[in-house]
Structure 1
Amino acid sequence: MEIRQLNRTDAEDYLSIRLEALQSSPYAFASSYEEEKNQTAEKYKNRFTTPANTFTFGAFEESQLVGVVTLITEQLIKLNHRANIVAMYIKPEKRGIGLGKDLILKVLEKAYRLEGIEQIYLSVVTTNIPAKKLYASCGFEIIGKEKRALKIDNTYYDEEHMVLFL
Structure 2
Amino acid sequence: MEIRRLIGGDAESYRTLRHEALLKNPVAFSSSYEDEMYYEEQEYRQRLDSKFTYTFGAFNERQLVGVVTLVPEGKVKLKHRANIFAMYVTPSQRGHGTGRLLMKKAIQQAAELTSVEQIYLTVNASNEPAKKLYASLGFETYGADKKAMVINGTYHDEDLMVLFLEKA
TM-score normalised over the length of structure 2 = 0.96
Tell me by how many angstroms 1:15 deviates. 0.5
**RMSD in angstroms over aligned alpha carbons?**
0.7
- 2:160 counterpart SS class: strand
- 1:38 counterpart SS class: coil
> Runs ≥4 in structure 1, deviation > 4 angstroms?
none
Q: Distance in 2 between matches of 1:41 and 1:69?
A: 18
Indicate yes or no: 2:80 matched with 1:81: yes
The 5 Å alignment of 1:116-127 reads 116-127=115-126
Q: Distance in 2 between matches of 1:86 and 1:155?
A: 22
Q: Distance in 1 between matches of 2:148 and 2:99?
A: 23
Q: Distance in 2 between matches of 1:153 and 1:93?
A: 27
Tell me by how many angstroms 1:115 deviates. 2.1
Q: Distance in 1 between matches of 2:47 and 2:68?
A: 14
Partner letter of residue 141 of structure 1? E
Where does residue 38 of structure 2 map in the other structure? 38
Aligned-pair identity (%) = 54
Q: Distance in 2 between matches of 1:152 and 1:42?
A: 28
Structure 1 residues 109-157: Cα deviation after superposition (integer angstroms, max 9, x where no partner): 1011112000000000010000000000000000001110010011111
Q: Distance in 2 between matches of 1:135 and 1:121?
A: 11
Where does residue 25 of structure 1 map in the other structure? 25
- 2:116 counterpart SS class: coil
Partner letter of residue 80 of structure 2? H
TM-score normalised over the length of structure 1 = 0.97
Q: Distance in 1 between matches of 2:119 and 2:146?
A: 21
Partner letter of residue 142 of structure 1? T
Partner letter of residue 2 of structure 2? E
Q: Which runs of 5+ in 2 are unaligned?
A: none
- 2:16 counterpart SS class: helix
Q: Which runs of 5+ in 1 are unaligned?
A: none
Indicate yes or no: 2:163 matched with 1:164: yes
Q: Distance in 2 between matches of 1:87 and 1:58?
A: 11
